[in-house]
Amino acid sequence: MKLWQKENTVTSEKIEKFTVGRDREMDLNLAEYDVLGNLAHAKMLETIGLLTSDDLIALEQELKLIHSQIRQGEFVIEEGVEDVHSQVELQLTRKLGDTGKKIHSGRSRNDQVLVDMKLYTRARLFEVVQATEKLFNVLVTRSEEHKNDLLPGYTHLQIAMPSSFGLWFGAYAEGLIDDVIQLNAAYRLANRNPLGSGAGYGSSFPLNRTLTTELLGFEGMHHNVVYAQMSRGRTEQAALTAIASLAATVSRLAMDVCLYNSQNFSFIVLPDDLTTGSSIMPHKKNPDVAELLRAKTNRMKALPMEVTIVLSNLPSGYHRDMQLLKEILMPAFDEILDCLDIAAFMLEHMKVKQNLLDDVKYDLLFSVERVNELVINGVPFRDAYRQVGAEIGDGSYAAPRELKHTHEGSIGNLQTAEIQERMKQEIAAFGYDKVTRALEKLLQNG
């Protein structure tokens, strides 16, 4: 029997299949977090007299066993069981009888799934942050390795001014800091406790929501129980918006790699094991990794709009539409983590070509250097600009290849240490140590 099912009522198999959908599959991702929510709720129920101390000891022991099953990959949602909440309660009731039935006091499946999703999203977002930091470190390392290797800079896909591989790698590293800031905004929305909001209208039991907030390591609670339910969807959308931003950074990087690897640019070399060949052209070394990175990350840019469409025109309160949000959010975490990992691998093994700007075809890259040279010697900028234009026109222009870029963030002053410090500060702002300590304490024996 379902948690919501009344005596002598039967739902047709066809309707059950349609309404349950992929929930049982998706809910396996929530199992660990459902146990955590139950542990916190049980501790709180004991403090307000709805569980005895013996009830709590028995529930905690059994919930920790279930948690161990989950960690070992042995937990399943049985055939005929609707979702993870039902499965956990079923196992508790089988072992503990009436004590197991008490766990649902003061709860609704609405706030059960909400707290599970908050805990899940919070944890997965920090996984993404850690993977982003790994990619960031690769970019910073390569930036320093190649800070003296010059690269053509482009505007409008035409050669513009000298750049460097140090600048190029470093630019994407600093871009990831902005992505981490967006991940933090999403993380803070996930880091609010909805537990105790029930079906969205609270409870007549004197629930201690402050206690469960502390036990689960949340930054704070959603104070208004109606809004706690309204946060469903908003949290997912914020997470996917942050993922989409990060995906956009990786997509642009992948596009650069595709260009720079091509023969017409020929700035980098991808090792053979990072490329594929052609079935007809024996010379081909295709950058399939970069191309698939570009496609996968481009597709992720659309995910926030999917959530927007699902939530369109929904009034306040819970609606079953929101069940579909799991199918949008959960695969996105796996996809972005895979993309970040392969991007870091690709960049670690990519080879950079040196002395690129020695080629005469890049002479015009140094036209601004020539203008600046004249300005330093007292020629007004606009006159210097016209003079260099005339030199280019009459063939008397000579490229001054010695660069003197020293200001902050330029070729000769990458500000790598400052960029690293910023990333360190932004990651520290998550305060994930507090979460780790709270959850470890919740799961500890005794």
Q: In the predicted model, what is the mean pLDDT of residues 178-185? A: 98
Q: Which two tokens stand for residue 110?
A: 């609405």
Quick one: pLDDT band at residue 323, thresholds 50, 70, 90? confident
Q: What is the pLDDT of residues 235-251, one digit of tens each?
A: 999 999 999 999 999 99
Q: What is the pLDDT of residues 42-84, one digit of tens each?
A: 999 999 999 999 999 999 999 999 999 999 999 999 988 888 9
**Do 110-356+415-443 and 13-105 have the same topology in CATH?**
no
Q: In the predicted model, what is the mean pLDDT of residues 13-26? A: 68
- Helices assigned H by DSSP within 72-164: 84-96, 98-101, 109-145
Q: What is the mean pLDDT of the chain?
A: 92
Please give the pLDDT value at position 15.
63
In Å, what is the CA distance from 322 to each residue of 193, 229, 235, 309? Answer: 18, 11, 12, 11
Q: What percent of the chain has pLDDT over 70?
A: 92
Please give the pLDDT value at position 280.
62
Measured CA to CA, the distance from residue 159 to residue 366 in angstroms comes to: 10
Whether residue 5 has pLDDT greater than 60: no
Q: What is the pLDDT of residues 193-235, one digit of tens each?
A: 999 999 889 999 999 999 999 999 999 999 999 999 999 999 9
Query: Domain 13-105 in CATH: superfamily?
Result: Fumarase/aspartase (N-terminal domain) (1.10.275.10)
| DSSP summary character for residue 268 | E
Q: What is the pLDDT of residues 340-354, one digit of tens each?
A: 999 999 999 999 999
Is 110-356+415-443 in CATH node 1.20.200.10? yes
Whether residue 446 has pLDDT greater than 90: no
| DSSP summary character for residue 211 | H
Please give the pLDDT value at position 1.
47
The structure's pTM equals 0.92
Say how many Å lie between the first and final Cα of the chain, rounded. 34
Q: What is the pLDDT of residues 377-421, one digit of tens each?
A: 999 999 999 999 999 999 999 999 999 899 999 999 999 999 999
Q: Which two tokens stand for residue 244?
A: 């989409």
Which value, in Å, is the radius of gyration of the alpha carbons in the chain? 29
**CB-based contacts of 126, cutoff 8 Å, min separation 6:** 187, 430, 432, 435
Say which residue the tokens 């500000």 belong to: 415
Contacts made by residues 398-406, CB under 8 angstroms, sequence distance 24+: 398/370, 399/362, 399/363, 399/364, 399/365, 399/366, 399/367, 399/369, 399/370, 400/366, 400/369, 400/370, 400/373, 401/357, 401/358, 401/366, 401/369, 403/150, 403/162, 403/369
Please give the pLDDT value at position 4.
43
Q: What is the pLDDT of residues 351-363, one digit of tens each?
A: 999 999 999 999 9
Domain locations in the chain as residue ranges: 13-105, 110-356+415-443, 359-407
Cα angle at 442 between 439 and 446, to 5 degrees? 145
Measured CA to CA, the distance from residue 179 to residue 336 in angstroms comes to: 13
Nearest CA among 224, 226, 215, 188 for reference residue 37: 215
Measured CA to CA, the distance from residue 208 to residue 345 in angstroms comes to: 48
Please give the pLDDT value at position 206.
96
Whether residue 154 has pLDDT greater than 90: yes
